[in-house]
Structure 1
Amino acid sequence: MRGVLSLLGLVVVVSVIFTSCLNNEAGVNEFEEQWRKDTTAIGIHIRTNGIQALKDVTGVYFEIVQQGAGFPPKASSQVRFGYKVSVLGNTSVVDQSTETLQSMQELVPGVQVGLSLLTPGSKAILYIPSGYAYGGANLPGIPSNSNLKFEVELKSVTKTAAEASQLGADTVALDQHLTTNAIENVVKDPSGLRYVITQAGAGPNATLYNKVKLNYTGKILSSGTVFFTGNNAPSPTFDSRVINYIYAFQAGLTKMNAGTKATLYVPSVLGFGNQSVTGAGGVNIPANSNLLYEIELVEIVK
């Protein structure tokens, strides 16, 4: 087979087309019309074949065959994965590889979306609308505007030495803060997260793929500066699945059930990492900032 690189060579072209479509009204209308056709066709295929798949807001469907563990890749991650590609409704394999190492940014948008919803060790089948694959490009074995079936095994997400070093420094700083402030009943998660349950809830804990309603306040740990206060819930533009949130929320929310309140002490690596971020009201969150979140899991929607 040609291997993933032959397909990924068109990513830049596809990205340019994708961006240009979204930068003009006619292009947006054309993209949305094709997207509606694609997602309708994929939805019919899913229902007709009794496939237990979840739908992302992008229109990418994903069927979890085997769930792994750990954290999903970020946009900047390098990922090691195996894959098999076919046009939806056609059993012929267009391309496959038992293992390849790629940057997430080198992958077509639909594969980026799908992999960002998987943890290492996961196996899944992605159903990708053409606009998030190769769009109007006509490739050998992939006609223009083809929806794709992408069978994937995410074998690993590369962690850098810098991230490991930063996590070590972060957890030392967190533990010093907890000791200095005599904070009790702290649970130390293997991920590096520290948390305190301040109000018990009831029922089963949230899973990575549950949609949730949350109330929370975020603060910079070192200064106590509030950078967000508010809530999140599923909407047409945001699924609010646990796996859609920062790593610290993924680790914390899966230890919580509906009605639980907790304080999360977050190492920067599980927060915004080495990126400087602007919070609500223009508050600057410096790179490598440890964070504190007061969070309430209001409801597990489904």
Structure 2
Amino acid sequence: MRKFFLLGAVLMMALFAACSKDNQTYDPVPQFNRDVDSIKAYLKAKNLVADQDTVSGIFYKISAIGNGIDSVKSTRTEIKALYTGQLLSGKVFDSTGTTPRDLGYAGSLITGFQFALTKITKGGKIRVYLPSYYGYGPAVNKDIPANSVLIFDIELTDVTNP
């Protein structure tokens, strides 16, 4: 009888543990608003100016438009670029250094990176400030914490359209 009571108690504890709710559910709208506020505060603190896309809410600053001819025309466009990705804290999480990297198809990149590529042509340079929704969202990715605003400095060095 004692064995059944102990087994029942263990099963009840397991049931309660399985049914407990995580109160931290991801809600993209409030997170997006927090991210935009963080970007605005960052820009103000650093005395930087950036445009904000009215549709996506992504902030960007183009420093060179490029040759005006070779642009990303589809998700199947092959991309080669120089870039550095960092967090608002300044911590660099990825960089090509001085050697352009073959990034594969434009459609395989995070949404915010794709957005940046549509703003420039071959030889163009852009800095984008991405709300987490356009980066990795609530997922943790190596050195990138969940819900992180990302900053990318990108130079589009080559474009091959299908």
TM-score scaled by structure 1? 0.41
For residues 240-276 of structure 1, the C-alpha deviation after alignment (integer angstroms, 9 at most, x for no partner) is 2211100101111111100001111111111111011
Larger radius of gyration: 2
Matching of residue 183 in structure 1 with residue 48 in structure 2:
yes
Cα deviation, residue 205, structure 1: 3.1
Amino acid at match of 2:101: N
Matching of residue 264 in structure 1 with residue 128 in structure 2:
yes
Maintained 8 Å contact 2:136/2:146: yes
Residue among 62, 68, 72 paired with 1:206:
72
- In structure 2, the residue matched to 1:163 is 28
Distance in 1, matches of 2:48 and 2:58, equals: 15
Maintained 8 Å contact 1:217/1:229: yes
Amino acid at match of 1:208: S
Amino acid at match of 2:56: S
Within 5 Å, give how 1:92-241 maps onto structure 2: 162-184=27-49, 186-189=50-53, 190-202=55-67, 203-209=69-75, 210-221=77-88, 223-230=89-96, 231-233=100-102, 240-241=104-105
Amino acid at match of 2:35: D
Please list every run of 5 or more consecutive structure 1 residues that lacks an aligned counterpart in the other structure: 1-159, 235-239, 279-283
Amino acid at match of 1:265: Y
Higher relative contact order (CA 8 A, sep 6+): 2
Identity of aligned residues (%): 31
Within 5 Å, give how 1:22-101 maps onto structure 2: none
Please state whether the residue corresponding to 1:233 is helix, strand or coil.
strand
TM-score scaled by structure 2? 0.74
Distance in 2, matches of 1:273 and 1:267, equals: 8
- In structure 2, the residue matched to 1:157 is none
Please list every run of 5 or more consecutive structure 2 residues that lacks an aligned counterpart in the other structure: 1-24
- CA RMSD in angstroms comes to 1.8
For residues 204-242 of structure 1, the C-alpha deviation after alignment (integer angstroms, 9 at most, x for no partner) is 532332111111011111x101111114316xxxxx221
- In structure 1, the residue matched to 2:157 is 298
Matching of residue 247 in structure 1 with residue 106 in structure 2:
no
Maintained 8 Å contact 2:70/2:159: no
- In structure 1, the residue matched to 2:145 is 286
| Cα 1:274–1:161 shift into 2, 3 Å | closer
Q: How many residues align?
A: 131
Please state whether the residue corresponding to 1:285 is helix, strand or coil.
coil
Distance in 1, matches of 2:133 and 2:151, equals: 13
Distance in 2, matches of 1:216 and 1:249, equals: 10
Matching of residue 274 in structure 1 with residue 138 in structure 2:
yes
Distance in 2, matches of 1:257 and 1:180, equals: 30
